[in-house]
Structure 1
Amino acid sequence: MSTHHDTASPLYSRTFPALGTLALHPLVARRDAGLLHSWFTHPKAVFWMRQDATLQEVREEYEALDAGEEYQALLGLHDGAPAFLVERYDPALVELKGLYAAEPGDIGMHFLTAPSDTPAAGFTRAVIRMVMEYLFSDPAVRRVVVEPDVRNTAVHVLNETVGFVPSHVIRKPEKEALLSFCGRADFQAASGGVA
């Protein structure tokens, strides 16, 4: 596994005693599309709905996202090796535009951990906690908004561990989604006061 990503300083990093260091770097579509394609087409990523995507489609999608202001894609490294994808977006402009009552300070979030034959216990929970810390490290962010597929029960449980409160089901063009919110105080309460 290549570790060429860890030369630049990360946007955010956190070391977990039992797991090692997680770090966020800007995704580079041209460099990282092959990696993302292998993750998206893995059965574990079925809820990302890109099982049939071609490498070219993945590259073009992330180049287009990179060109806009509404989205930011980040590559997550675990001890220097690519291990997860994070997307932060403006839910009032993309993904949820017109589908909910947006408030100032809202930020949308998606994340995907890479498929692994030897998943580390607690890894996904550490990733989502670190991602939430990163999002709330921006003082302008007041609330994180997620819209996972209603059938993705594993992620609903995971979201609740960091303070997400389910609101209601919304219909998006590609899925029925469970709209959920996590305010700064919700995350602090779920994380034992660390945010």
Structure 2
Amino acid sequence: MSTTKILYARTDAELGTFSVRPLDPFADAELLHGWVTHPKASFWMMQDATLADVEREYTRIAAHEHHQAFIGLHEGRPAFLMETYDPSELELVGLYDAQPGDVGMHFLVAPSEKPLHGFTRAVITTVMAAVFADPAAERVVVEPDVRNTAVHALNEAVGFVAERPVTKPEKEALLSFCTRGQFEAATGLTGASI
């Protein structure tokens, strides 16, 4: 059974409680497999992954010193995946000048048969607030696929400013940054922890 330790929680005025817990690569593998192989997760680049591939990938992340993965909950039910990483060590090494306090971030909303209006925006807001709950986090760095216009709009809504495209081995990415102050100005929230 996966851990139920809640690391961060916030209440959205319209959609209820969102929280974040550690990911268990074994207990959560089947759940994640359904998410990352869903057609809506094409930019996650795991469409053809087997259950064993997913378990292996998240076991690798769990063991990595500079990469973490979390399960996000909505009203207590798994609803999104969140990853953080040190961009001076992974993903963006040599592609930009990393600063102390930079945190790389990825998120994936679980597929849903009954989408809720504003849900994905509430998820990214929760993810960002959870990152900024760590006082050492000063700026969030993202590198979504340049073609992923939906996520660019979401990023902008929570305070990200696009800097420039960067070429990564797996994609052409849009390097974007969001400082703590930009997030607070865009959302009215701070990263205050539970």
TM-score, normalization: structure 2?
0.95
1:120 aligns with 116
1:46 aligns with 42
> Taking structure 1 as reference, are residues 59 and 187 closer, same or farther at Cα in structure 2, changes over 3 Å only?
same
Q: What whole-Å deviation, never above 9, does each CA across 1:52-100 have from its counterpart, x for those lacking one?
A: 0111011001101101111110001111111000001001101111111
2:85 aligns with 89
1:167 aligns with 163
Aligned match for 1:143, one of 139, 149, 153: 139
Aligned match for 1:67, one of 41, 52, 63: 63
Cα distance in 2 between the residues matched to 1:66 and 1:34: 16
Deviation above 3 Å: which 4+ runs of structure 1? none
1:132 aligns with 128
Q: Kindly report the root-mean-square deviation, in angstroms, between the aligned alpha carbons of the 2 structures.
A: 1.3
Alignment of structure 1 residues 8-27 onto 2, 5 Å: 8-27=4-23
Cα distance in 2 between the residues matched to 1:82 and 1:65: 19
Partner SS, residue 42 of structure 2:
helix
Cα distance in 2 between the residues matched to 1:185 and 1:29: 33
Partner SS, residue 27 of structure 2:
helix
Report the residue type matching 2:164 in the other structure: H
Shift of 1:17: 2.7
Name the % identity.
61
Shift of 1:158: 0.3
TM-score, normalization: structure 1?
0.94
Cα distance in 2 between the residues matched to 1:168 and 1:191: 24
Matched, 1:105 2:105: no
Cα distance in 2 between the residues matched to 1:129 and 1:15: 11
Aligned match for 1:29, one of 25, 31, 34: 25
Preserved CA contact (<8 Å) 2:132 2:180: yes
Aligned match for 2:172, one of 161, 173, 176: 176
Q: How many residues align?
A: 191
Partner SS, residue 31 of structure 1:
coil
Q: What whole-Å deviation, never above 9, does each CA across 1:9-60 have from its counterpart, x for those lacking one?
A: 4000111132121110000000011111111111100001110011101100
1:188 aligns with 184
Preserved CA contact (<8 Å) 2:139 2:180: yes
Cα distance in 2 between the residues matched to 1:178 and 1:28: 30
